[in-house]
Amino acid sequence: MIRHLVFFNLKTDLEPADREWLFDQIHGLSRIRVVTRLALGKLLEPREEWYRPRMSPEFEWALTMEFENEDALYIYQQDPGHVAIAQEIRKRVSSIKVMDFVSLPSQ
């Protein structure tokens, strides 16, 4: 399995309605046939003071997706729906980092 992680910060002047539109578009990526799981989340603001130093504040938002294998990841990357939404995301973010991880087999 491949886990695709996208960490990002939205531009500070992004209107709330535009943010909601973008998040709706991102959630729509789950309709691409090779996407097995999609989640969009906001950085936790820990209520416990002792936990705060463990958190990296570099990115406020994260998109996580899962794919059966590397071939599925590449199909997704070239899907016209993904290409269009990726362009919209880049217009609205101030910083972004993309990482892909391969799951290790269970022992």
* Structure confidence by residue, pLDDT tens digits, 53-89: 999 999 999 999 999 999 999 999 999 999 999 999 9
Sheet holding 93-102, edge to edge: 35-42, 61-67, 2-10, 93-102
Q: Identify the H or E element spanning 98.
A: strand 93-102
Alpha-carbon gap, residue 13 to 15, rounded angstroms: 6
Cα-based torsion angle of the residue sequence 16, 22, 27, 31 in order, rounded to the nearest 10 degrees = 150
Q: How far apart are the first and last CA of the chain?
A: 15
* Structure confidence by residue, pLDDT tens digits, 23-51: 999 999 999 999 999 999 999 999 999 99
pLDDT of residue 53: 93
